[in-house]
Amino acid sequence: MVAPSKANLEDFFKPFHHFGGGWNPEEQVLPPQQEEEQTPGAQVNEPRGSYTGGAYGVGAPPPPPQAPGAAKKGADASAGYNKPGEGVNKGEGLVVGFYDKSCPAAERIVREWLQKVLKSNPYATANIIRLAFHDCAVGGCDASILLDAVAQGDKVEKGSIFNGVSLKGADLIDDLKMRFEEECPQTVSCADAIAFSANEAMAMSTGVRQRPLAGRRDSVNSLATAADQNLASPTATVDQMSEIFRKLGFNAEEMVVLLGAHSIGTAHCDLFMDRVYNFRNTQKPDPVLPLPYVDQLKGICTDPGTPQFRNPPVNFDETPYALDNLYFRNLVQNKSLLLSDSSLLGDARTGPTVRQMADDDMLFRKRFAELFARLTSFNVLTGNNGEVRRTCRSTN
């Protein structure tokens, strides 16, 4: 896979505010302090727009960077960092009920905590699901996404152009980790906190409940360059997206199902504005989009010149808090905001799955739950690898 240059990526992502969040049935515009999300993807196709949704950045500022040598005593600074193809893969070493003796209330704590969070922030499910993908896609599900700094001083994943200010949900995990520490100190890892909360978010969004696998440990390293190489833009081609998902162990059919996470996302107008007003510099809308849909989007995205992050977000489908198959039903009607999503229908490798998911809502919900469990078990650290952090923002 040929990656674009860092300079090109930085230019491309300056306007990006990645997908997530939810739908307010009374209005298209999210309240100013609501949160934002993003999705799996691949390389840049064409520079355009901005994703939105999410929650990171709410509350207190992050702690100062750690001093050199603050990593786990006697450990190489990179020893706990799980790179693709290394460490424990495919969830080996993970079990259901891992904390039944050491922290028996763990799963209940997550469920009650998220129920409370959703009362004030209904977008939290989208934020957490996106955060889990961004953690697992970069070296494995090891909570490297949560670190604010590492001992060797390298730029961490939060600083990647694919994360940055658009990454939401880390503060939610901070809150959950604090609750774990109160109940059973230094027992539940940050990686399991992400996986448990993502599993609960998935259950609340799909209606399909399953007990989470556990036993993950936390990385002591985090590299922005790793995120740059393993996360990608929402305008990716099918080939580019397929390569990203292949490295995670998923085929084309499975990729399509997981991209159904867009069912609870939103996107800022600047992400798809050119599809509405000036597709490929034609001064016309993308001919694939139905004209009534174009008119609907123009009614929301009224000013193509609105500065990034200040234009309205638009929901991916009409059921923003439910991970259902409406996303696929809309794709079949060519009603998609993102160019990457639009490309799925016409490709022989992905089109049949789009139609299959559009025809069977329960099949989609069940398949998503199965595949999401696999995703959150990818390339984990277990046993004596890594550590169990006291706080998710820094190593011990």
Q: pLDDT digit string (tens) for 172-217?
A: 999 999 999 999 999 999 999 999 999 999 999 998 999 999 999 9
Three-class DSSP labels, 294-305: HHHHHHHCCCCC
Written as one letter, the residue type at 53 is: G
- Please give the radius of gyration of the chain, using alpha carbons only, rounded to the nearest integer: 20
Whether residue 375 is predicted with pLDDT greater than 70 in this model: the reply is: yes
Whether residue 78 is predicted with pLDDT greater than 80 in this model: the reply is: no
Alpha-helical regions (H) of 216-324: 224-230, 238-247, 252-259, 269-277, 291-300
Q: What is the pLDDT of residue 362?
A: 95
* 117 or 273, which is more confident: 117
CATH architecture under which domain 95-231 falls? Orthogonal Bundle (1.10)
CB 146 within 8 A of CB 170: yes
Q: What is the mean pLDDT of the chain?
A: 78
Q: What is the pLDDT of residue 153?
A: 78
Alpha carbon distances (Å) from 258 to 138, 262, 330: 17, 9, 16
Give me the mean pLDDT over the 60-89 stretch: 33
Q: What is the pLDDT of residue 232?
A: 67
Reported CATH class of domain 6-56+237-374? mainly alpha
Token pair in block for residue 282 = 């034609």
Whether residue 43 is predicted with pLDDT greater than 80 in this model: the reply is: no
Q: What is the pLDDT of residues 135-186, one digit of tens each?
A: 999 989 999 999 998 887 788 888 887 776 667 889 999 999 999 999 999 9
| Domains of the chain, residue spans | 6-56+237-374, 95-231
* 70 or 344, which is more confident: 344
Kindly list the catalytic residues: 134
> What count of other Cβ atoms lies within 10 Å of the Cβ of residue 152?
14
Q: Which of 115-119, 220-224, 353-357 has the lowest mean pLDDT?
A: 220-224
CB 369 within 8 A of CB 213: no
- DSSP three-state, residue 194: helix
Q: What is the pLDDT of residue 327?
A: 95
* 296 or 13, which is more confident: 296
Query: Most distant CA pair in the chain: distance in Å?
Result: 64
Instruction: List strand residue ranges (DSSP E) for the chain, in order.
Output: 50-52, 95-96, 213-214, 266-268, 313-315
Residue 352: partners with Cβ closer than 8 Å, 6 or more residues away: none
Whether residue 322 is predicted with pLDDT greater than 50 in this model: the reply is: yes
Three-class DSSP labels, 59-124: CCCCCCCCCCCCCCCCCCCCCCCCCCCCCCCCCCCCEECCCCCCCCCHHHHHHHHHHHHHHHCCCH
Give the separation between CA 198 and CA 196, rounded to whole angstroms: 5
Written as one letter, the residue type at 242 is: S
* 10 or 242, which is more confident: 242
Of 27-31, 242-246, 281-285, 353-357, the range with the highest mean pLDDT is: 353-357
Give me the mean pLDDT over the 381-391 stretch: 95
Whether residue 39 is predicted with pLDDT greater than 50 in this model: the reply is: no
Q: What is the pLDDT of residues 227-273, one digit of tens each?
A: 888 876 777 899 989 998 999 999 999 999 999 999 987 777 887 88
Q: What is the pLDDT of residue 160?
A: 81
| pLDDT over 90 percentage in the chain | 54
